[in-house]
Amino acid sequence: MTSWRAFRSAEPEFAELAQRILQRGVALVIATLRADGAPRVSGIEVVFDDSGPVTELAFGSMPGARKGADLRRDPRFALHAAPADQSGGDLGDGDLKVAGRAVWQGPMSGPVAGDAFRVDLGEVVWTGLDEARERLVVRWWTPSSGLRSVVRE
């Protein structure tokens, strides 16, 4: 199990960028797997839960939603946060993808009903521009290999 806190501890600057992108208010999309193996995409919101012993990247699913059923059956997912401003081709803070396994936590507590999930991180990938805004940069982190990057023309 790799928590958000473990990621943040390993790569604090990269984790801060990733969290800022996930919390910037732009719609996020999660991909899950249907029972027949076909992909399903759904809109989603995430939270950073500090209520337990470790900070977790977490999200919920409404009661009876197919997304929650998909994740309870097969916990693999990919989450995408597109660039904030796509109208002029500006990547802004960049594009972020998070993949891993959704760990079912049971029913959500509080005023909203549904299923609660926490994330077991498999990878975090950021795509954006270098400081001169001339080259594309891809940075990715995995628990086993740490942070790597490549610059493309």
Interval 12-66: pLDDT, tens: 999 999 999 999 877 799 999 999 999 999 999 999 987 777 779 999 999 889 9
Coil, strand, or helix at residue 122?
Answer: strand
* 96 neighbors 126 (Cβ within 8 angstroms): yes
Domain presence at residue 152? no
Domain presence at residue 139? no
Domain presence at residue 41? yes
Per-residue confidence (pLDDT) for residue 86, from 0 to 100: 56
Domain presence at residue 81? yes
Q: Say yes or no to pLDDT of 82 above 80.
A: yes
How many domains, in total, are found in the chain? 1
Write down the mean pLDDT value for the chain. 90
| CATH number, residue 43 | 2.30.110.10
Q: How far apart are CA 65 and CA 44, in angstroms?
A: 12
pLDDT in tens, 106-116: 988 778 889 99
Domain presence at residue 80? yes
Q: Which domain holds residue 23?
A: 4-126
